Amino acid sequence: MKLQDYKLTEQLKTKIFTGIRTSKKYGISCLFVPINTRVGVKLFPRKTDRDFSFRLQKRLQSFDLSPKLGRSFVYKLEWPIIHDEYNISELTFDILVLYGFFTQRANTCFKNKGRACDILYKEAHKKGFIWDDSHHNNIGMIGKKLVIIDTDPASWSLT
């Protein structure tokens, strides 16, 4: 399946919910949830952060500096709130709204990440990007291509 063909189906919603509960891949403003070996989703609590990250990753992608992008989406999840553990009829639901997009997964385990990060920082700078949070945890590889995986708003200065 091509990246642009991924949609937020009920099956993917279940996988994302499980990922939210178990993922250890938190950024400053987002959570990454793997869907399969090739695709994952980035989830944000604020639409403005998702939109910034999506636009930035799209710009970086045009220079071959980031993973490919899929569709953006809104994920609404009913979250149970127990007010009285002895009276289940008092159970109410809150709605958790997350804003996300599908993205290509990158391998983050490889050698010489410090040197690779320097290379990516210089490439991004040449293209006019100011990457304030360039370090080894924010890069990956897809095949033999180095990519920037951190497009959180807090990691970049506007140019």
Q: What is the pLDDT of residues 50-77, one digit of tens each?
A: 999 999 999 999 999 999 999 999 988 8
Look up the pTM and report it.
Answer: 0.79
Distance (Å, whole) CA 118 – CA 34? 26
Token digits of residue 66 = 């980031």
The pLDDT value recorded for residue 114 is 75
Parse the chain into domains and list their residue ranges.
Answer: 3-157
Q: pLDDT (tens digit, 9 = 90+) per residue, 90-120?
A: 777 778 888 999 999 998 877 777 788 788 8
